[in-house]
Amino acid sequence: MKYSQRSQTMLSRTAESLFWLGRYLERAEATARVLDVHLHDLIGTTSMHQLRWANEIQALVGMDISETTFDELATILSLSKNHPSSISMCYELAWQNAKSARDTVSLELWESINVTYSRLRRTFVTDLGHSPHAFFAWIKDRSAMARGISDTTMNRDQAWFFLHIGRSLEQLDGTARLLRVKLVDPDGEDWVVALRCLGGHEAYIRAVQRPVDKAKAIEFLLTDTSFPKSILFLAESITDSLGELSRHIVDPPHKPTVPPSLARLVANLRYPRINELADQADSYLAEVEEALIDLGQTLDSSLFAPAPESITSHTQRLEVWI
């Protein structure tokens, strides 16, 4: 049976909602993971050490550096309704975007997000107010559940690819931010913490089969093609998803293309010069930043921006089907 083209189209605003749904779900998990790792490792450390890590977390999430204690910072990034990286804010925005894209996500995914949002909003924070570790573990579990449900209950059509691209882009940005923050840290032992913040410590040990050191950790996070949060893995995943997404889009002007900066990043990481990865990490991260900017502009201009009135099917609504 051949399906009509109309069955494979969606509004650009729905596509954007799916993209941001993926981003906010990933961001909530990433924030919970970073806070949980540091909460565990700060036990018994000095106040100066706690302040340094609190400053690193602030830089990681884009906050102004201040002498905020870790406990205060953890509360802000868990419950704040004003910071875009706080867990509470991420789930509120994820819920809003899931609601906007309700017709394109699976019922199980919607129910999973709705339950998490409702419990987080009404009872969960109070129930586990004295157990931050349990709270962060619950957020990680719920985010992983939402990701697993989307991967097992949604067709590999436009909806899933927009969700997947949003998730991958957020992961790419998160890995790059973590590398950028840790590169200026003189304490080499913190690279174990950096790997754990991405859930990659055990993966590193399996892949490298030696103790963690700065150069090997940087190489692993930049180029390992088997670790799903490495820069190269994510860049290739986004590139492949853009190609698949283009096949599903009916209107030629709205078919996304891979930005040259993203293709160049993949090539440079796939075929680096010998022994240059750790020494040139700053250069690679600059390429990541350029690729992220170009990718955002590509998505906004070709997929998410409303079409001009002169070429829309319904001029009064300023919507475009892609």
pLDDT, tens digit, for every residue of 4-49?
344 356 678 899 999 999 999 999 999 999 999 988 877 666 667 7
Ordered DSSP codes for 253-266: GG-----HHHHHHH
Q: What is the pLDDT of residues 51-107, one digit of tens each?
A: 787 888 888 888 888 888 888 888 889 888 888 889 999 999 999 999 999 999 999
User: Residue 28 in contact with residue 166, Cβ under 8 Å?
Assistant: no
Q: Which amino acid is at 45?
A: T
Q: What is the pLDDT of residues 193-250, one digit of tens each?
A: 899 999 999 999 999 999 998 889 999 999 999 999 999 999 999 999 999 988 877 7
Q: In sequence order, which residues have a C-beta less than 8 Å from that of residue 177 and are 6 or more positions away?
A: 60
**pLDDT at residue 313, as a whole number:** 35
Which parts of 129-252 fold into alpha helices (H)? 132-153, 158-183, 190-197, 201-208, 214-223, 231-248
pLDDT of 291 above 90: yes
Instruction: Quote the longest CA-to-CA distance of the chain.
Output: 67
Q: In sequence order, which residues have a C-beta less than 8 Å from that of residue 234 and are 6 or more positions away?
A: 168, 169, 171, 172, 175, 228
**pLDDT at residue 5, as a whole number:** 41
Q: What is the pLDDT of residues 253-275, one digit of tens each?
A: 778 889 999 999 999 999 887 66
**pLDDT at residue 187, as a whole number:** 59
- pTM for the structure as a whole: 0.88
Please tell me the least confidently modeled range out of 59-63, 77-81, 122-126, 291-295: 122-126
